[in-house]
Structure 1
């Protein structure tokens, strides 16, 4: 057989094998036996060896080759948007009301344009890893994670192991990007764990871990699957509605979940969501909600996007899951300030897609309120909502039928006698209690503080144990020779850490004050101190009366600041930092924008979650407009800007009758240009 004939035969085999893969993995309708499939596959492998040719669409490339050195960045052709969330039916109806209002306003402004009545698409919200697939002239050339929505990580070798994802598609007219979700079926996870040396805890982490594993053979072993649900980019394709887009995906051999419903009213959508919530436990894959979209593409276009979300879609997140398990024990963790926090250990139980073994308890008062004082060894109710750490809600029985949770009298880490301060227990051994020292050093190096890159709590523990590191100031005494002798420290890691420590010497004053960990102060307070006093020396010398004259600083906070800087140990630590070259200068204030603004001269408090920007970013923009941003609500506050899940500050603002801005789109409009 001539080379050209072998190549023709290879192309024919590839086409036939890919067709059978589509019938088997995507449609679940095999048309030949496994033995006949193996004959075709083995012939292709033999021809590839003979010719030395590997065609890009060949299914033999799915197995996974050599170990990869790292992930490369991939810039998506169009942004991959996250979705706004509805936690309940009221949130869903509020979204629908906003959509209807915007559409009606558009119709009033453009009476000549005919828009169809609002209709909806309902899809499942998968709990896996988002995939972005790029095809050029029909060939799969890249696959990437979502990343930050603009840039992701290239994971093409890993994704090629997913047999339901086509390596070649009929559409061959330029570039196409489609999005979907990589998942591990629950039945596959169960089979995998029967023979695994290290069983996987849950399907979501198993899928994400496999797709971000630098060894594609590991990915292949996990037998992942994928559902494709969106066309993100195409040069010339246009769809009238969602149904047309789905038909296009199906015709190009993508695996589309059969559960896609089209509905004419939001009431129908709400009813079906209730049904999904009940049926989700019968599915062979994890979902954590449903996605509601406007069906018509032109309507989507006119609705557009906020800075973070499409206005034409929303994710309905299911309520927190609850279950019962046995409370095995309670340990007491010591934090940076010496405060002890009880942590419950429970019998491992699957909840909301993860295996739960630890739960939060706030303090002994919380334990008693929840009737847990005599609960060791008994059944308790636990709840987990999305990615929040699980919490114990209470005891199943009201009886005192368990062992008592004993409140410690001495520190479990250092043996120091504990102090009761309010509702909490504290260890006062600030200079000799290991977890306090490690937490203090870790906090000092954290991103919002001195931002020492590559530093972690594991690094702090290692330096504590092996180099006797006891104070953040000790970081500036580290040498290359100190680090290179440590386990897991090569030349590059040692050099990078020393460069990061040196770079931290020029952080601003507010970051430095926050890094010191002054009790009862946070980022807002340290920024107030930096802006007002302008130098470290003046902050350290400030009296209680001077401090209390500043916004957000009451008697307790003022006492904490004065006491902290009078402490000789703290002062010596700061002196050592300054001697090592730390120069915490006050940040230059941005000049107010030269435009009129309703915020000029106002005292404003930000609370809750903003979706379009962080609160820090919003504060900086408000300050550019002449506002004074503070952290607590009082009679001196002019306005409270409330994002999602605003709590006590919003409640207090309502109680005081203050002006409240709770419309994020209106806030964006008012901040436009800053």
Structure 2
């Protein structure tokens, strides 16, 4: 075959695979197969000395650029007016309604349609303006001042979700979108980077406005597109038509876009987006509301700065800056020492923040926080977890030094550094470790001892000398009744819960022991495979590695844990006191007639007729595999109330979704 023809075929094939992988999230072949085709193309390019303009080999980043060249946009890139409250948003809508009514009164022969609205996410990245001529990407630029931006074509070509060629070839178009760094990519990048990035927004902006395209490629950016600002040969009647055009021309369009005829539904959608915000893998700082009809947009026009037909509704910030005041060091149940930062109180995402996590001593050094006491730092809050310090605002060492302890802040034992973490190895006589182990042992997913709390564990430690989980089963009514805040009822309830906990199954008992590097999934695998506690205790690392999802580190953790004489003695003591650690029931023969048989299922949202664990057990009993994340391998999503990003991703991937809980329960029973 002619080498040029082979190159054209390979380029077309690889670009198709890139589109399905990076834009649709639906890979068509393995990475190994893709790499083999890519290597064939590289070889042909090297042998022939020719590189096609849309070759995927052009995405890796070229030589260092000498400087940015200014680019004048063919059509202005407008800013958006902002609404920071529902009153301001209502005022924007009232103005649009009034202007539309005025127009219709003046043009009764050709009135504008009733207002309808598109609601999109407001991405927190760097605005991109791409120019395509006859189907080829010929320029990419930053927004700049809205009229003139900086040409960043070499950098943008490294973003694999951006098409280098598109099917539309009837002249020139300009397309606007947002270049971003996914939060998962940022987290991965920072594990390897000599200088960690403070946040995803800076990571994207710094990559795109960097004269070294190779650095841009390393940051693995993505981009979503939402507007055609200039076009030759095509006009759109509605926003929906425009978005369809972008999708048909291989641009990545965010799935979180909704259309409404009623403004009250817009307000409800904004509330829904705010609830889902923390589950997204990228930063947003609000939502954009646009009028759908294009003729109405033309009639409403623009102010000096903003279009009258669109507005940005700003959410409360999830990132801000504050002063790092102090750092304390807390001891966990495994002996791990975790630094906790005290910051100057600041409002963030609707709450007052005073404490932030710093993860570990290695994290402090990577984020240039070693000399940060008294300095201003970036903090971020997502979900309901404690906020995290992202880094210093300035690069100078202008603060006091954070000094890591050499000895345990609780028991004074010398600390050992393992990787990025500090550990106290005084497991038998370090109060926070002991209380943590006992509290974990009694927790719901472990031995499920009702009425038990960390305060109970501390009281039992201080007043009855409880030093290990086995001691719980030696407690007596006479001991408990003497404790402060322990009446007869509370004492009896605790003793009844302890007695009931003796019947917990083997998987729960193993999880309660708190074996390092193991979770519920691993302990369940151990219980179902070995079906006997002592068989697990005597298993070798080689035997354990043969089990699904058990690697070398986990296997060594299990072996070392059960080799500890203190742990062995505690387990034997509990067994002698009546703890059964029963093997799970023998697996039942699963009927292949079940609707769920052989399917990979994900549960999300809130269910009311049964708990998440109960639903998982029933699904597994019917031959389903229950996993925690949505991917192209997922067959079915069960979406309860307030389902978030998993539901959106499932719909984007075309995965079957059951949103009716009654229907789900009926299928479980059929």
TM-score (norm 1): 0.49
Q: TM-score, normalised by structure 2?
A: 0.50
